[in-house]
Every structure is written in C-alpha cells, then in structure tokens.
C-alpha cells in the first residue's frame, strides 16, 4: 500500500532536508535522460538487493532512482547468471529462515503478475546430513518453530528415493518440498522492469563515492553528471568495498567462484526434477541443481575462492576447477562420471566476515546507507531485505545488530551458510 505523499514527507523529514535539485545527464534504460530532479531516494546498484530495495521504496510512496553502471544482473554482477537456490534451512539463524519463507511468495507473486511463473522452479531442496550434525538438527528445530514444511529421511529412505545419488553410510537428509530454484538474471530484470512500471527511474551510469562528512545532497557520476536525492542507498554488491575502501574495503570479501554444468545423457530423466532435487552438502562444501531448461546438471564448490576484482577478473573457468567438479560428480552421481562440461561460469561471492548481511548507515554520512554482503546466500532474500531496508530508510527504527557495520571484522570466520 502506498503511503500518501504528505505523510511520507513527514515521516522522513524530507521537506527540510532533501537538498536542492541539480542537473544530471545519464543514459537510462529507455534512452538519454536529462533534466533537473531531486529524488527522495537514490539506490546505487541494480542487483537483487538494490532492485528490491528500490521497488519497496517506490511502493511506500517515495520517488526513487535506481542506478547501475553495467545494467541489472549483468555478467559481472553477483546477481547475474542463470540460477540461484531458494531454501529455508539456516541452522539456528532463524531470521534468515523467516526472511526466506516470506520472500518466496513475494517472488512467486511477481512472476505470476508478469506472466513468468517459470522463473521459480519448484525442484525441492535436499540437505545431506550426517551423524551428530548440529547444523541440520538446528535447522529442523527452526523449521518446527516457524512452521516450515519438511521431511526427515533416514539413510535407507534416501537410498530408496534417490538411487542415482551415492550417500555415505550413516547419513540422513532433510527435504524442503516447497523450495527450489530462482532463475536469477531474468528474475532481477523482472524486478527492475516492474519497478519502472511503478514509477522508479532506472538509469545507467557509475556513481562516485561522496566526499567529506555530514549530509549528502548529490552524487557525481563518472560521466560528468550528478544525481540529487534526500537519501542514498549503496547496494553495490562486490563493488561496495571499491566504492568505500576506507570503511568496508577490508570487511567485504570478494572471492572468485566457479560453476559447472554437466551434460546429461540423451533421454535421461533421473537428473531432472522431480526425480532429482536441488541438493546441498555442507560437509563436502558442494551444492547443485537438476538439469533446468536443458542447461545441464549444475554443480559448484561452496568454499570461498581466491580474492577477485569484479571488473577485471577472468571469467574463464579453469581446467583444474572442471576436473575437481568432475571428480566430485563421479563420486556422488556415478551415472554422470563421463558427462562433459557443457557450460561454465565464473562469478564472485561478496561476503562479510561471518556471512551476515551488512545493512547500516555510513559512519561519516547521515543519509547514506550501505547494503551488501549478500552472496553467496543472499539472492533468495531480495524481497525481504528490500522491505527491511525501505522501512528503516523511510521510517527509522533500529537495525538488527547482526547487520551492523560494527559487527563486521577484517578476518573471515564464516558462521552463516
């Protein structure tokens, strides 16, 4: 529900503090755009966090600009690529289970409204667990507390249901029947397109970091223009540390991650949904997805890779990475032992020290927000995070301490998976 304009202005004190308008000349998704306009909020970064934040701000009555230097869900972005898991399991981290549970129907509603229900693939998600697996036990407890539908499978049940997978002796599983896969690139671009229909101005251009201290009234762009707003939200993904090196440069860890798709034999159905679910094995640090849209059986190594620069890193997967993925494939899915790599992708994670998101104000600027640390687990949470950020930008309220800048360290110690 949209907030009346007068009520919105009162809520954020905009009448006194929005700052004077200034000219900008930035190329938008619809072509050249120039003029004088002051927005209530400018969101920098049109990935999943930025696009949903812009959408939620607009739905709350704000005038919003959404700016991205390469375009929404571009090939360099952490929100690019074809597919992301949406699952509810987070061990004891209940807030992420709640957010994911709330996000899925929001995604589905968007896809239904835009005539693209296929952008969510209901594959189900299978967790491979082991004896005394506290994370898995905590996940079950969180599911029970929050009413998340799931099934617990014994070792024998796993072998019976999924004979194409090799399970270690003593292992067991948790199955989330309502979870699955979001088709990432198209999903983000759909969020942006729908936000534009609702009134968000989507612009392309590179925003420069503000200088000085206090209140920011406008941002300069690399192309020589500027954009004015009452509040600025930087949701730049792997670029956040590059934009603000002194504040988050050593608290956002951007790592190179390789993903491989293996060709499924002709006529083979055991590696497509519903026979094959999306799966996660935290002990092995691997996850994968069934063959979706005939792209191949996806497999990825979840351990953080070497440091990477999103602008310049090579996007060509290594032979060593392909060999390692193939070796794991042969171990867990022996029928695919000789499957060829039909597609590969190099992207990046951009994690905080412990894996919690960063949602906080910049310490030097009263109206600049920093939002990031989302990958590799943040994509699914886009609608919930966008709503959370919009609420605090427009109406204030405390930020959960786990999202604060002060809880982010310069040494990685991963706690959220």
Domain residue extents for the chain: 5-77+185-251+354-407, 109-181+253-351
Q: Which candidate, 186, 106, 381, 92, places its Cα nearest to that of 389?
A: 381
5-77+185-251+354-407 and 109-181+253-351 in the same fold: no
At 308, list the tokens: 């990477």
What's residue 373's pLDDT? 96
What's residue 36's pLDDT? 67
What's residue 152's pLDDT? 98
CA dihedral 345, 310, 73, 326 (to 10 degrees): 10
Q: H or E element: which one contains 103?
A: helix 94-113
How far lies 244's CA from each of 208, 240, 241, 359, 371, in Å? 10, 6, 5, 14, 12
Ranges in the chain, pLDDT < 70: 1-36
CATH fold of 109-181+253-351 reads D-Amino Acid Oxidase; Chain A, domain 2 (3.30.9)
Residue 184: which residues within 8 A CB-CB, separation 6 or more? Answer: 48, 73, 79, 80, 81, 82, 83, 84, 379
pTM of this structure:
0.91
CATH fold of 5-77+185-251+354-407 reads FAD/NAD(P)-binding domain (3.50.50)
What's residue 376's pLDDT? 85
How far lies 33's CA from each of 69, 154, 208, 219, in Å? 15, 60, 19, 16
What's residue 5's pLDDT? 38
d(CA 320, CA 255): 17
What's residue 24's pLDDT? 27
What's residue 160's pLDDT? 98
pLDDT digits (tens, 9 = 90+) for 201-244: 999 999 999 999 999 999 999 989 999 999 999 999 999 999 99
What's residue 375's pLDDT? 86
Q: H or E element: which one contains 35?
A: strand 31-36
What's residue 163's pLDDT? 98
């Amino acid at each position: 529900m949209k907030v009346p304009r007068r009520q919105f202005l009162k809520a954020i004190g905009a009448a006194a503090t929005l700052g004077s308008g200034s000219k900008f000349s930035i190329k938008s998704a619809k072509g050249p755009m120039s003029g004088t306009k002051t927005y209530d909020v400018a969101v920098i970064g049109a990935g999943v966090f930025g696009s949903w934040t812009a959408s939620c701000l607009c739905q709350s009555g704000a005038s919003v600009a959404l700016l991205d230097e390469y375009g929404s869900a571009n090939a360099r972005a952490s929100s690019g690529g074809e597919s992301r898991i949406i699952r509810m399991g987070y061990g004891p981290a209940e807030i992420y289970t709640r957010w994911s549970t709330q996000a899925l129907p929001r995604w589905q509603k968007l896809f239904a409204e835009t005539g693209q229900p296929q952008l969510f693939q209901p594959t189900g998600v299978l967790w491979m667990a082991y004896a005394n697996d506290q994370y898995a036990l905590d996940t079950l407890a969180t599911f029970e507390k929050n009413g998340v539908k799931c099934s617990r499978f014994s070792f024998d049940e796993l072998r019976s249901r999924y004979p194409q997978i090799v399970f270690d002796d003593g292992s067991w599983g948790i199955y989330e029947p309502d979870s699955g896969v979001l088709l990432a690139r198209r999903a983000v671009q759909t969020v942006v397109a729908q936000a534009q229909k609702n009134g968000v101005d989507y612009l392309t251009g590179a925003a420069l970091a503000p200088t000085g201290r206090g209140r920011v009234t406008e941002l300069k762009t690399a192309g020589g223009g500027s954009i004015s707003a009452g509040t600025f939200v930087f949701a730049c993904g792997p670029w956040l540390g590059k934009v603000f090196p002194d504040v988050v440069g050593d608290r956002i860890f951007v790592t190179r991650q390789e993903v491989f798709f293996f060709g499924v034999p002709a006529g083979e159905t055991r590696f497509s949904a519903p026979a094959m679910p999306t799966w996660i094995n935290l002990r092995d640090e691997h996850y994968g997805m069934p063959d979706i849209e005939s792209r191949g059986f996806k497999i990825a190594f979840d351990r953080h890779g070497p440091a990477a620069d999103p602008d310049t890193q090579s996007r060509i997967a290594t032979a060593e990475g392909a060999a390692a993925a193939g070796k794991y494939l042969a171990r867990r899915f022996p029928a695919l032992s000789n499957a060829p790599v039909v597609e590969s992708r190099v992207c990046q994670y951009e994690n905080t020290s412990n894996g919690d998101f960063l949602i906080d104000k910049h310490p030097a600027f009263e109206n600049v927000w920093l939002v990031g640390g989302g990958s590799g687990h943040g994509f699914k949470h886009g609608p919930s995070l966008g709503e959370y950020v919009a609420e605090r930008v427009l109406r204030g309220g405390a930020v959960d301490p786990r999202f604060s800048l002060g809880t982010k360290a310069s040494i990685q110690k991963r706690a959220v998976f």
